[in-house]
């Protein structure tokens, strides 16, 4: 699992960092995004839908995304 620490960063930086990290992630691997910006709860799942990635779970300030493609 790869962890991206985006705590303290505001929208859209957590999603931008997730997008930049994805090319280096193996298909099937999970990226955990740590983000405390309230917008991340909507932005990360929306990004997954738009990009064809799997939003796995949210737990507090942790958002797990599985690379599908």
Range of the domain at 47: 2-54+62-66
> What CATH number did the domain enclosing 16 receive?
3.30.110.40
pLDDT value, residue 41? 97
Among residues 39, 67, 61, 24, the alpha carbon closest in space to that of 15 is found at: 39
| Residue positions annotated with a catalytic role | 11
What total of structural domains would you count in the chain?
1
pLDDT given for residue 66 in this prediction: 98
Rounded to two decimals, the pTM is 0.96
pLDDT score for 22: 97
């Amino acid at each position: 699992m790869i962890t991206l620490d985006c705590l303290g960063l505001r929208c859209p930086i957590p999603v931008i960092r997730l997008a930049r990290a994805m090319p280096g992630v193996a298909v099937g691997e999970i990226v955990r995004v740590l983000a405390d910006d309230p917008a991340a709860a909507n932005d990360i799942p929306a990004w997954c839908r738009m990009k064809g990635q799997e939003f796995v779970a949210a737990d507090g300030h942790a958002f797990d995304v599985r690379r599908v493609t």
